[in-house]
Chain A
Amino acid sequence: MQPYGPLWHPRLIGPAATLLVAAFITDLIYWRTLLFQWNNFSVWLIVAGLVLAALSGLALLLDVLLRRIGRLAWWRFAGFTVSALLSLLNAFVHSRDAYTAVVPEGIVLSGIVTVLLLALGWHGWSLRAIAAANAAVAGGISR
């Protein structure tokens, strides 16, 4: 008997976050080398990250609607949402031409998103409230 089952959304949030963090790294490389292809890498990574973020949102919606998740960790939800919105803004900033696509606003946004995601990801990519998760673990169900 599994009242929740394995959640879907963490499987997508993880990859989305990875791509958005990678964009910060390619931004850093562009900033130091000024080789335009790193600039292009960044914008594709951000866009791909946003696509996965959107799919994560859908997966979360299903997890909620199908009552697979229990109680939602609202603060974590807010954190991921802010990261996604900042990344959307960043996609537009990164669509500028040449240097100002990255420096300064673009790389600052990538940096903020990276810190946010790494902090949020420290506890994994699930949005299930910790209390509920503990209950689930206590019930012998893994995440």
Chain B
Amino acid sequence: MITTSGPALRATATMIALLLSACDDKIAPPSTQYGAHPMLPPPQQYILPPMDVPTAVGWKNGEAPKVPAGLQVQALASDFKHPRMVYALPNGDVLVVESNGPKAPVYRPKDYIEAKVKAIAGSAGTGGNRISLLRDVNGDGRPDIRTVFIDHLHSPFGVILVGDRLYVADTDEILSFHYTSGQTRMTASGTRLTDLPAGPIDHHWTKSLAASPDGSKLYVGVGSNSNITENGLAAEEGRAAIWEVDRATGMKRIYASGLRNPTGLAIEPHTGKLWAIVNERDEIGPNLVPDYLTAVKENGFYGWPYSYFGQHVDVRVEPQRPDLVAKAIWPDYALSSHVAPLGIVFSEKSSLPNRYRSGVFVGEHGSWDRTPLNGYKVVYIPFVNGRPSGPPQDVLTGFATADGREAMGRPVGVALDRTGALLIADDVGNTVWRVTAAK
């Protein structure tokens, strides 16, 4: 071709090299990306990004995820509508948030294809837009009463009780309800504490919740409105951030930013510090970028969209911001790439064996753009002196088949019930699992 210029030739050569290399890359195992210093390979730019999802098949009768020796698991209840979050009230009642995102717009041909692919993996299940309540009256670990606690919500996710106020984070606002211990149905309607960044795109729709140790503030995790600013920077206003909301007035401010999708927040019980799990960016490689767990520094900037893990610049974002990149904080603990952490709970009050009582449980929903799969399990990360102190240990596995072709379930939110058992919401199996010490 006489029209081919020098740069064009180089670009074409790069593309051919990428096409060829994409197939035979040796992918380092996830264990190389645990902890404070994950191995970070150079970023790739794909022609055809990998989309590898197991087909969602659900659990057959008697099937359950697997636990290591010393633990046992049973279904607490099933037949939910896309359960995303579990929360235990002080009287032992368990709330199950049944939810899914609002319908995503198709801005590009890719949006359409991605939605189809993710639907295979069960991500398109219709959310109940409600919170169910489970009560175990006789203490046998199985609920005897099941009610719809709050109905007609709008893509709810986070839920937390502070004093007599129950807060529910819909995708577009925090609702506040007056709660009386023992009630099985919320009769009073909620009032709006504050609005939250939502439509019309609402790419990362979940709004996670935590409360400050003194109960005066709520923290809200608000995810980005894109993978990496492909919907424009204007759409990212107030997003990829953790907001601090004053409970008395509803006034809010950004507490920390540059956190692409902070899907879970929790207070470390010894230090009282806020921790977050964060879903990092996609489509620059099977081992980029590791999702992470981190203590959240007040007014800290964690890099998104301009950089990841400190000063690793993402070339997909223009104009670049070297001034912000210079400030970007290296997060505390990498969980490895594309595990999609969606649930976090500190294990202090756990009744699991002692080795699980000083750390954090994390629900890993699992990858959709990586071969082999990563995540699809619940892990425990031990803490010493308020800091992570070892690699993640498997607590609940077997959500997907060994060959990665089928998924019976996918773990999301995690919580401890009043007895200290670990509860896990499973939005593909439509089940809540309960893990206890083996008898």
Chain-B contact segment, one of A3-11, A56-64, A110-118: A110-118
Return chain B residues, CB-CB under 8 Å to A142: none
> Considering the complex, which residues of chain B in the window 177-235 have a beta carbon less than 8 Å from any beta carbon of chain A?
226-232
Q: How far is A98 from B108 in the complex, measured between Cα atoms in Å?
A: 12
Chain A residues closer than 8 Å to B12, beta-carbon distance: 108
Q: When chains A and B are docked, how far (Å) is the Cα of A105 from the Cα of B11?
A: 6
Q: Which one of A13-21, A35-43, A123-131, A133-141 is at the interface?
A: A35-43
Interface residues of B in 290-334 (CB under 8 A from A): 315-319
Chain A residues within 8 Å of B138, by CB: none
The interface bits of chain A over 21-44 (1 if a CB of B lies within 8 angstroms of the residue's CB, else 0) are: 000000000000011110110011
Instruction: Determine if B4 and A112 form an interchain contact, defined as CB atoms under 8 angstroms apart.
Output: yes
- CB <8 Å contact, A105 and B319: no
Tell whether A81 is near chain B: CB-to-CB under 8 Å: no
Cα separation A35 to B230 with both chains bound (whole Å): 10
- Residues of chain A lying within 8 A (CB to CB) of residue B315: 99-100
| CB–CB A95/B110 < 8 A | yes
Bound: A34/B230 CA distance, A: 10
**Interface of chain A, helix or strand or loop or mixed?**
helix
> Looking across the interface, which residue of chain B has its beta carbon closest to that of A30?
B318
Q: Give how many A-B residue pairs fall within 8 Å (CB-CB).
A: 77
Answer yes or no: B27 CB below 8 A from chain A CBs. Answer: no
B108 contacts A99, C-beta separation under 8 Å: no
Q: How far is the CB of A29 from chain B (nearest CB, A)?
A: 14
Most buried by B among A95, A103, A112, A119: A95
Task: Across the interface, name the chain A residue whose C-beta is closest to B282.
Answer: A97
| Inter-chain contact A97/B283, CB cutoff 8 Å | yes
Name the B residues within 8 Å of A69 (CB-CB).
none
A43/B1 contact (C-beta < 8 A), A97-B316, A108-B7 known: no
Is A36 within 8 A of B229, CB to CB? yes
- Assess A108 versus B316: contact at CB under 8 Å? Given A36-B232, A93-B47, A98-B229: no
Given the known inter-chain contacts A98-B318, A100-B45, please indicate yes or no for A36 contacting B230, CB distance below 8 A: yes
| Interface membership of A53, Cβ < 8 A | no
CA distance A91 to B108 in the complex (A): 11
Q: How far is the CB of B43 from chain A (nearest CB, A)?
A: 10
Please tell me if B109 contacts chain A, counting CB pairs below 8 Å.
Answer: yes
> Distance in Å from the Cβ of A109 to the closest Cβ of chain B?
8
Whether, in the assembled complex, B8 has its beta carbon less than 8 Å from a beta carbon of chain A, the answer is yes
Given A92-B48, A96-B46, check contact A47 B230 (CB 8 Å): no
Chain B residue at minimum C-beta to C-beta distance from A43: B108
How many chain A residues sit at the interface, stated as a range, is 20 to 34
Contacts known (A34-B319, A112-B8); A105 close to B229, Cβ less than 8 A: no
Chain A residue contacts of B226, Cβ below 8 A = 97-98
Complex interface: chain B residues within 8 A of A36 (CB):
229-232
Cα separation A93 to B109 with both chains bound (whole Å) = 12
Collect the chain B residues with CB atoms within 8 Å of residue A37's CB: 232
Q: Are B11 and A104 in contact (CB under 8 A)?
A: yes
In the assembled complex, the Cα of A101 lies from the Cα of B46 at a distance in Å of 10
Q: Give every chain B residue within 8 A of A47 (Cβ-Cβ).
A: 109
Partner of A98 from B7, B14, B230 at Cβ < 8 Å: B230
Residue from the list B3, B15, B318 in contact with A99, Cβ < 8 A: B318
Residue of B nearest to A102 (CB): B318
> Which residues of A sit under 8 angstroms from B1, Cβ to Cβ?
82, 112, 116
A89 at the interface (CB under 8 A from B): yes
Q: Which of B3, B47, B230 contacts A97 (CB 8 A)?
A: B230
Residues from chain A with a CB closer than 8 A to the CB of B7 are 104, 108
Chain B residue at smallest Cβ distance from A99: B318
Given contacts A36-B230, A96-B316, 10 further A-B contacts (CB under 8 A): A36-B232, A40-B108, A44-B109, A91-B109, A95-B110, A96-B45, A96-B283, A99-B317, A104-B7, A108-B12
**7 nearest interchain CB pairs?**
A36-B232, A97-B230, A98-B316, A99-B318, A95-B110, A115-B3, A108-B11
Pairs across A and B, CB under 8 Å, 28 listed: A35-B232, A36-B230, A36-B231, A39-B230, A43-B110, A82-B1, A93-B47, A95-B109, A96-B45, A96-B49, A96-B316, A97-B230, A98-B228, A98-B316, A98-B318, A99-B315, A99-B316, A99-B318, A100-B316, A101-B230, A105-B15, A108-B7, A108-B11, A108-B12, A109-B11, A112-B1, A112-B8, A115-B3
